[in-house]
Amino acid sequence: MSSTDLEYLLNLIGPIILKTDTTFKKAILMPKNQEEWLQIAEGFEKRWNFPHCLGSIDGKHCILQTPANSGSDYFNYKSTFSIVLLALVDYHYNFLFADVGCQGRISDGGVFAHTSFCKTLYAGTLKLPEESILPGRTENVPYVFVADDAFALHKHILKPYGGTHENNSPKRTFNYRLSRARRVVENAFGILSSVFRVLRKPILLKEDNAALVVLSCVYLHNFLRRSKTSRNIYAPPGSFDIEPNTRKKIKHGNEMTIVPLIVAPSDNTKQIATVLLLTLTSTNSESQPFKKLFKHLPLVEITVLRYLGFCLYHEVML
């Protein structure tokens, strides 16, 4: 199409689709005061059992066709050319901040260091809530953003312990809980890519235009997530992670206390595990009736069951 024809069509339909104001401009809103930050922290604590969390930070590589004369500027560690979408996401998979367009060769931590959000955070002008005491503790603890190893540790940025840690150790438990809160940003990226398929293949545009496309997808994501009429269409129930109910209630007189539910292996557990192991591994004719219960399961599920039976039998706490 020639530029003349394109301009003619735009002039023809422009007055019809023109809108002086749009709700998309308000789709990404950073909290402006302590009360709004505290609402997010309360959501993380109720939904993901991680207190004093204000958001999850991570980056996503959006693949491009090879930019002309760019050298290795956009060449990332995955051996593709990309721009980086760095985002801050709340407990309900909404984007609170998004920075798009940085070269793919730069790490997530490097991209974050050059964002306006990072500069505002380090300057102390984000109006974050004051430090407060965690339940059952006596010392004040700051409110934090959770991130992975690519980010630098900071008073308001929390990352997991490095290395490998034993089962049930405090550091392993902490890493698990932090990862559970941090995965909301990964899930938000997944929802974004599953709906806006342009993000699942190389974007055939120049870097600046590609950044506008990605940012538009982020705006649309927030708009649809907050829309009462489109929310369940955009992300139907069951699209998100759900934390299993692992707590039980104990009554103390007229009061009710919620505590973690921990089930230790017992003799009955060992018996069940033994039957499970024999059923899935034995070739005896006696076990054939039990095997019929599992004959329709895929091999991968049988392997998982066999592993669980082994762990239960040897009292390995997962």
> Is 6 among the domain residues?
no
> Is 12 among the domain residues?
no
Is there a single domain that holds both residue 192 and residue 293? Answer: no
Is there a single domain that holds both residue 307 and residue 160? Answer: no
Give the structural domain span for 292.
Answer: 263-313
Q: What is the pLDDT of residues 248-271, one digit of tens each?
A: 443 333 333 333 333 334 444 445
Is there a single domain that holds both residue 170 and residue 97? Answer: yes
Mean pLDDT over the full length of the chain? 78
Is there a single domain that holds both residue 197 and residue 307? Answer: no
Question: Is 70 exceeded by the pLDDT of residue 308?
Answer: no
Q: Is the dihedral of CA 44, 155, 129, 171 positive or negative?
A: positive
> Is 164 among the domain residues?
yes
Strands (E), the chain: 53-63, 82-89, 95-103, 132-133, 140-141, 144-146, 157-158, 247-252, 255-260
125/238: higher pLDDT? 125
pLDDT at 242: 64
Please tell me the distance from the alpha carbon of residue 144 to that of residue 284, in angstroms, as a whole number.
57
Please tell me the distance from the alpha carbon of residue 139 to that of residue 131, in angstroms, as a whole number.
9
pLDDT at 290: 47
Overall number of domains in the chain: 2
Last residue of a domain, one of 218, 234, 250: 234
Is there a single domain that holds both residue 219 and residue 267? Answer: no
Is there a single domain that holds both residue 81 and residue 223? Answer: yes
pLDDT at 68: 87
Is there a single domain that holds both residue 178 and residue 297? Answer: no
298: left (phi over 0), alpha (psi -120 to 50) or beta: beta
Last residue of a domain, one of 187, 216, 234: 234
Last residue of a domain, one of 214, 234, 254: 234
Is there a single domain that holds both residue 135 and residue 205? Answer: yes
Is there a single domain that holds both residue 200 and residue 296? Answer: no
pLDDT at 218: 92
Is there a single domain that holds both residue 44 and residue 110? Answer: yes
Is there a single domain that holds both residue 276 and residue 128? Answer: no
Which range is least confidently modeled, 13-27, 237-251, 253-267?
Answer: 253-267
Question: Is 50 exceeded by the pLDDT of residue 64?
Answer: yes
- Averaged pLDDT, 186-211: 91
> Is 162 among the domain residues?
yes
Give residue 207's identity as a one-letter amino acid code: E
Is there a single domain that holds both residue 168 and residue 284? Answer: no
